[in-house]
Copies of this chain bind each other. A is one copy, B any other.
Amino acid sequence: MKIGIVGGTGDIGEGIAMRLAPKYEVVVGSRDEVRAQASCVCSLDKLKNRGNSSCVLKGATNQDAVSCSDVVILAVPFKNAQVTLEGLSGFEDKIVISPINPMEKRDYFMFVPPKEGSAALMVRGLLPKEARICSAFNTIAANKWKALEEDLTYSVPVCGDDPEAKKVVMDIVNSVSKLQAYDAGPLAASSMVESLTPLLLNIARYNKMRDVGMQFL
């Protein structure tokens, strides 16, 4: 299975790429293909140092990352999501993962959804109706993605309306470190997943913690 990462050289994207590369063929997309290739060289080096010398990680444009993949992860900040998606095509029948969280930083972090109710529903409106959209990976901090020496022991809620696509996404989640996927219902329930992230950022901020995650129990 080929996984493309739109925004694959960003903070979250780079970490996701390294965590997935030992298991999947990963295409790191960027607006700047050269930058994507440089990021892959660097990531492959880090993986090699950890004994993973046979990973497949390729740099590409965001469009190529979409076109040549079975699963596309939208590793872009909310503020760039609409512009980025409007510039891309070929999402028909792709499984698309949105880890996007619409939020604002005031004195505290606040969940501020778009008019659709959530980033995932906004993404659904921007992509062709054949795209099979799930939200997942919303609450894992960029630093944790990149800290390859650390196990990720978090719970990961997954929303989506296509049961088969959701199963694929949950399997991907469960293949990464010690992440555990949970079905969190239809895509319309994604707002409650996305609002976890500003909550976790507030918990970190007000309790002098870093990179807070969560587990269901």
Most interface-central of A154, A213, A217 (chain B CB within 10 A): A217
Considering the chains assembled together, what is the distance between the CA atoms of A205 and B184 in angstroms?
A: 8
Contact between A213 and B216, CB atoms less than 8 A apart = yes
Docked-complex contact A107 and B214, CB < 8 angstroms: no
Per-residue B-contact encoding for A183-204, CB less than 8 Å = 1, 0 else: 1111011011101101110110
The answer on a CB contact under 8 Å between B217 and A202 is: no
Known contacts: A183-B207, A215-B214, A216-B212. The answer to whether A192 contacts B188 by CB under 8 A is: no
B residues less than 8 Å from A107 (CB atoms): 186
Across the interface, do A108 and B207 meet the contact criterion of CB distance under 8 Å?
Answer: no
A111 at the interface (CB under 8 A from B): yes
Which residues does chain B contribute within 8 Å of A203, judged by CB atoms? 157, 182-184, 216
A211 → chain B, closest Cβ, in Å? Answer: 10
A78 to B111, CA, bound (A): 21
| Chain B positions within 8 Å of A212 at CB level | 216-217
Task: Given A215-B214, A215-B215, check contact A195 B184 (CB 8 Å).
Answer: no
A153 interface residue (CB < 8 Å to B): yes
A and B contact pairs by CB, cutoff 8 A, 22 listed: A107-B186, A111-B191, A153-B217, A154-B217, A157-B203, A182-B203, A182-B207, A183-B206, A184-B199, A184-B203, A185-B202, A185-B205, A189-B199, A192-B195, A192-B196, A193-B199, A195-B195, A196-B196, A212-B217, A214-B216, A214-B217, A215-B215
